[in-house]
A and B are shown apart, each in its own frame.
Chain A
């Protein structure tokens, strides 16, 4: 059972480059989330989705975009990478009636 899968695990970007972090889940969960974790800090919510075709902003959405064309996939796009986006990014999913969140293993992004 794969759960939540994120790719890539590591990536180095130059300032101004763009990239997409991929997230897919095989648990048929309605709700999906993107968080970022900076050293010594808790996780901050970037964007979330309550179902295919529906997305909404979290606490720190600036500089990011998302889409949810299928139940399984929730990609996160960085359009113009900045050093402030150096972080570890986590994707998560849940069925709302249980509330238990399942996380991917993270994508470590460095912007130089």
Chain B
């Protein structure tokens, strides 16, 4: 059974720092991996989608990498801003794109 773990559970950094969020999964037979952002009381917004054949994806200050063989993904946020404060969720996709989610990392960027 696929299990997804995110470390750390919570992170607080000063504005301007570069940071890395980690995601690990137990079964490497995945179709894709997605990173989402969730603001309090809101739905999830897709940040980056990495297909199983890809190694990384970039969008603005965000870069996500995927190492299927080791069951790991990282989300790199450059030059963090207070507006980046949110919960970040990692999810791995299997057949029919059913996603298995991690429990998330709560990020606080201090001004």
Report A's interface with B, CB cutoff 8 A. Answer: 4, 31, 33, 35, 40-45, 48, 50, 58, 90, 92, 94, 96, 98-106
A99 touching B51, Cβ below 8 Å: yes
Q: In whole angstroms, what is the CA distance A96 to B94 when docked?
A: 11
Which of B11-19, B66-74, B75-83, B95-103 has 4 or more CB atoms under 8 Å from chain A?
B95-103
B34 touching A101, Cβ below 8 Å: yes
Could you say which residues of chain A place their CB within 8 Å of the CB of B36? Answer: 101, 103
A90 touching B44, Cβ below 8 Å: yes
A48 touching B44, Cβ below 8 Å: no
Q: How many A-B residue pairs have CB under 8 A?
A: 64
Say which residue of A4, A41, A43, A99 sits within 8 Å of B93 (CB atoms): A99
| Cβ-based interface call for B89 (8 A) | yes
Main secondary structure of the interface of B (DSSP, over half): strand
B97 touching A101, Cβ below 8 Å: yes
Residue with the greatest number of chain A CB neighbours at <10 A, chosen from B31, B43, B103, B104: B43
B96 touching A102, Cβ below 8 Å: no
B103 touching A90, Cβ below 8 Å: no
B103 touching A58, Cβ below 8 Å: no
Interface size bracket, B side: 20 to 34
Q: In whole angstroms, what is the CA distance A94 to B98 when docked?
A: 10
Instruction: Give 17 pairs: A residue, B residue, CB < 8 Å, sorted on A.
Output: A43-B44, A43-B91, A45-B98, A45-B99, A45-B100, A92-B44, A94-B97, A96-B96, A100-B46, A101-B44, A101-B46, A101-B91, A101-B97, A103-B36, A103-B43, A103-B45, A105-B42
B43 touching A33, Cβ below 8 Å: no
Interchain nearest-CB distance for B99 vs A (Å): 7
Could you say which residues of chain A place their CB within 8 Å of the CB of B34? Answer: 99-101
Q: In whole angstroms, what is the CA distance A4 to B42 when docked?
A: 13
A101-B34, A102-B46 given as contacts; is B101 within 8 A of A48 (CB)?
no
Could you say which residues of chain B place their CB within 8 Å of the CB of A48? Answer: 96, 98
Q: In whole angstroms, what is the CA distance A23 to B90 when docked?
A: 23
Could you say which residues of chain A place their CB within 8 Å of the CB of B103? Answer: 40-42
